[in-house]
Copies of this chain bind each other. A is one copy, B any other.
Amino acid sequence: MTDPGFDDVLAAAARIAPHAHVTPVLTSRTLDALAGASLHFKAEHLQRIGAFKFRGACNAVWALDEDEARRGVVTHSSGNHGAALALAAKGRGTACHVVVPEGAVPGKLAAIEAYGATLHRCARTIAAREAMCAALQQSLGARLVHPYTDPRVIAGQGTAALELLAVQPLDAIVVPVGGGGLGSGTALAIAGASPRTKLYVAEPAGAAETAASLACGKRVTDFTPDTICDGLRGTLGAINFELLKAHGAKALVVDDAATLAAMRLIWTRMKQLVEPSSAVALAAVLAHREAFEGQRVGIILSGGNVDINALVAA
């Protein structure tokens, strides 16, 4: 597969339809009043495994040919992508191998195992992780499904915006950005389905390499993430950067305090339990009121996998 395009998003939508939820679009009068805009929240925290990541993983798994499916898939994400790939592989009856570093959160690993994946532990370094992945690809013939640079993952993530645009004309869509899978998939969906809709990617100040990359026209990878948005600490992928740049996406940077305030608004006003990485998009809209005033704005609530034990005192 070469660089993915709008046709791949359409193909992904058809491929994942029997397995993924068409998530609802939520609205809130209170938040509309705060933003001075008409906000349309795509509720991907209600997607299977609690995050949009199921879309891309599901597309990658069901796009395998029979031979590939027999050999299985491998990845190195211990977060939502790991859980998503495990559940998607389980649905097809395909083996799933997840390489996890020492010190990964036990609750997340338990979830991945519960979906039937095999965990492979390695040292914390990127070198150790890549070596373990390569060894599994070679010994098992398993196919690597990268969390955000895999073209089928990108096309799958684009289906969220495709669904959103099908029910609601929008002036702008704002999505969180970490590695850029959702952002670049959304760019493809917009290009094909609604070219005059603007694309914004919202990024935590403590991991703002996408904003830096788009500003200087060259991918910046030298940074140390420091943000509570644990889903957005990854480094923008090369293909993701190229797709965002080609589309003319704009980056909006917000600090963690604004993201936590936005998360609290979503919790208390919309009663939706989203994770901080989801709230960064609303935070960006509220922090840049002038850019969105009077417009119809789509916001993708990317996931809801909050560690309740860490947040709740009881």
Contacts from A to B (Cβ < 8 Å): 24, 45-46, 50, 260, 264, 267-268, 270-274, 304, 308, 310-314
Contact = CB atoms under 8 A, between A and B. Distances in A.
Contact of A311 (B24, B274, B310, B312): B312
Contacts of A312: 311-313
Given A260-B314, A311-B314, A312-B311, A271 B268 contact: no
Given A24-B24, A264-B308, A308-B264, A271 B314 contact: no
Contacts of A45: 271
Nearest to A268: B308
Kindly list the 8 A-B residue pairs having the minimum CB-CB distance in the complex, ordered from nearest.
Answer: A271-B304, A271-B273, A313-B313, A45-B271, A273-B273, A311-B312, A267-B273, A268-B308
Number of copies of this protein chain within its complex: 2
Nearest to A314: B311
A271 B46 CA distance: 7
A22 to B, nearest CB: 13
Contacts of A264: 308
Contacts of A314: 260, 311
Most chain B CB inside 10 Å of its own CB: which residue of A270, A271, A304: A271
Most chain B CB inside 10 Å of its own CB: which residue of A304, A311, A312, A313: A312
Nearest to A47: B271
Nearest to A303: B271
A21 to B, nearest CB: 10
A314 B272 CA distance: 18
Given A24-B24, A264-B308, A308-B264, A271 B50 contact: yes
A49 B273 CA distance: 17
Contacts of A260: 314
Contacts of A272: 271-273
Contacts of A313: 310-313
A42 to B, nearest CB: 14
Contacts of A308: 264, 267-268
A97 to B, nearest CB: 24
A310 B268 CA distance: 13
Nearest to A312: B311
A79 to B, nearest CB: 16
A301 to B, nearest CB: 9
Nearest to A311: B312
10 contacts: A24-B24, A260-B314, A264-B308, A267-B273, A268-B273, A271-B272, A271-B273, A311-B311, A311-B314, A313-B313
